[in-house]
Amino acid sequence: MSKKKGLSVEEKRKRMMEVFYEKKDVFQLKELEKICPKEKGITPMSVKEILQSLVDDNMVCAEKIGTSNYFWCFPSQAVLSRKRRLSEINSEMETLKKRKANNGAAVEEAKKSREEGTERSALLEELGVKEKMLAAVTSEVIKYKECDPEVLEQKKKEISMCKEAINRWTENIFSVKSWCKNKFGIETKTMCQNFGIPEELDYIE
């Protein structure tokens, strides 16, 4: 018989939020440590950790009164919090798009000149940074996938645009490598080693 799979962190977070939405009350930690295992299947040892993660993400409010800590989150408050976070994500995406546009222009200029140097290396490094930023924003969007369908659909389109931009930059790098090989006889492996290009660099699906 296979062992029953435990809940993931996100599943625990979602179930704990259900407690706040369903009860519409204010709780102390010890109360949640009794309710969550019994009603939501969250292990007692992880209740405090999950609760703190929700507080850190501003999804649950916390207030110390006297010597006791109290926690709460009402449905209306959760909607406002999620809308605020989605607004922050949208702002981050706009900033990312502008930076990508600026760097895209620089890549096109480098492609025209076909000159090897520090500028191309800097563009390659910037490409890596943008890929990490894209991954972070994509993860953030997935985290809030239950918030607003229309906003999330827009985020998916923007992510698709980011992927297309990254693939264009990747194509430019391949073009530079091919040009150097044809013009100077520089092997692809040597190019990758000298200019810090990952040999496994490929298009994003």
Q: What pLDDT shows up at residue 1?
A: 46
Q: What pLDDT shows up at residue 198?
A: 80
Give the Cα separation of 54 and 73 in Å (integer).
Answer: 10
Mind giving me the DSSP string for 43-79?
-HHHHHHHHHHHHHTTSSEEEEETTEEEEE--HHHHH
Q: What pLDDT shows up at residue 149?
A: 58
pTM (2 d.p.): 0.39
Q: What pLDDT shows up at residue 52?
A: 95
Query: Is 75 within 8 Å of 23 (Cβ atoms)?
Result: no
10-residue mean pLDDT series, the chain (205 residues): 73 94 92 95 95 91 92 72 70 81 67 60 79 78 60 70 76 75 76 75 74
Q: What pLDDT shows up at residue 77?
A: 61
